[in-house]
A and B are shown apart, each in its own frame.
Chain A
Amino acid sequence: MIRTVNLTKRYGKFLAVNQLNLHIEQGSVFGFVGPNGAGKSTTMSILATLMEPTSGHAYVGGFDVTKDPDKVRQLIGYMPDFFGVYDNLTAVEYLDFYAGAYDIPKEKRPALIQDLLELVNLSMKADAYVDTLSRGMKQRLGLARCLVHDPQVLILDEPASGLDPRARIEMKDILKELKAMGKTIIISSHILPELAEMCDTIGIIEQGQLIALAPVDQIASRVAGHRVLRVKLLERAQEAYDQVHYLEHVTNADVQENTLLIHYTGDEAGQVALLSKLVQNGLPVLSFAEEAGNLEEVFLTVTKGVGS
């Protein structure tokens, strides 16, 4: 449904998106994860026909975003990371305006708008002026706005950012509902766990490059059995690294000053063996702690080398 081929965008000399290749199946939910400034919004603007790529191509539903923008616009509902609302319009008028902008006949609008407001839990705010709504409500109204022309594809740029936990949960529930409706969704966030439970595929982007891409269910089990062992040494951390990095169940190891971080997928007995090996070799182990893996770190380890 969505495909990018060597998509590249430069702002002057600055490379914001670098040779991005994505493929998103119809009906699937793609989570686009990366730190601020990674190029997520840029990619999504290009997909939403709001920006021309410097090179490469992007297709939505088989249509090229620069050659057939009108066809693409028909297919997509786009929610930017930051958007404003018009003051002196009520929620109903706001949606009515966009319904008109999508050429939806007047007589169909009232029922449609009522359904949309219900979907995003804003029925009670139907006649409230949009500039009086809370941020969470505005965000949900924006989502309803994306849906007025019943698009097949939703491009949602950080829809949950800036929301309080309760509003986040509400947003997540609505998105799950949309997923159940069979929409193809590309959704971005700078926080991975936020997306993990509702996406089919996760792609991680950093400095404009896709560094990891994997189906969520395929890695979920591996993520579950994944631990990070933090071994603090007095000295000779590098030596410790040499001793463990090749062991079975050690997926990755990292030296940070006098600390050795071991990504470990084995059982507890193996963990004991690992520790005793270090001690027996005379390494000055100061402490040995197990921490739940940072999902992002874990994800990167598990999918190492997929994107490149």
Chain B
Amino acid sequence: MTDRAFAPTLALHLGVIAVLAVLQFVLPDYHHGLLARIMVLAIFAMGYNLLFGYVGLLSLGHAMFFSAGLYGAGLPVFHLGWGVPAAFAAGIAAGGLLALLVGVLVLRTTGVAFMIVTMMFAQAFYLAILYFAPWTKGSEGFVLPQAARAIDIAGARWDLTSPSMRYWTALLLFSAVLALTLYVARSPYGRVLVAIRENEERTRMLGYDTFATKLLAVVLSGAICAASGAAYVLIFGYAGSTLASIQYSILPLLWVLLGGAATTLGPLLGTVFMYYVIDVASGYTTAWLLIVGIVLILLVLFFPRGVLGTIRERWVPWLP
């Protein structure tokens, strides 16, 4: 974040995007589909990282923002026959608005109270999804019809049910959000976010309205997580209440912790890693949760700042 050369940073990020683009042509079908899903969920992790990594606010309720996007985009398509672009925008708006309302209330608390209050809001949101089961289809969920998951642009058809278009769409959105988080992390606003994490009172005494700054961060974070949820339902065609459960509030925390909090590429790395550990472990044993747990413990012991956080600390200080 110092006044440092941007070239290596830019090269690294473009390189990662290029590798993801090339993988699309070399990966076997199964991993191809998995990686598309991982990129969409990495957006969720990046949104979470903005608040947890940069501002230092540990939320246990981000499933509500993800699912606000999921249902905000999915329900209008399912019930009202909306097109993909309008539904995507509605999903993001739903998440941003929810984040604004929740943010105004939860930012009065800090630390453990913040964790508990965010978890309670997310739980209320989850129960609301079950309560409105006639529309949301509750835990069973709903599948979007194939015909609804395509965009017609100037005669051409962008079909989200084709594996390669799914992959490109996921990569496009992932890249956009990666660029956004890189921009925020390097901007003066990002510097204030980190300052709040380090010492909120000092930041206030430099003339910053820290409440307003944090509220904006909650809204940004919520909107990005909602974009992930909206992309998920539109690309993969399914929404169900499991995706709003507590598990989906804890997952982004784990992804970010693994990859490295307050690093731009950590969320991707953590998401990829967790997915493949689970995938490999469940191929060998039914006790795969145990293996996941052991891997997590090992990582926290040897990479307490996550993979990229440790690399930055020890070897590559310019890593954003």
- Asked whether A and B interact, the reply is no
Interface residue ranges, B against A (CB under 8 Å): none
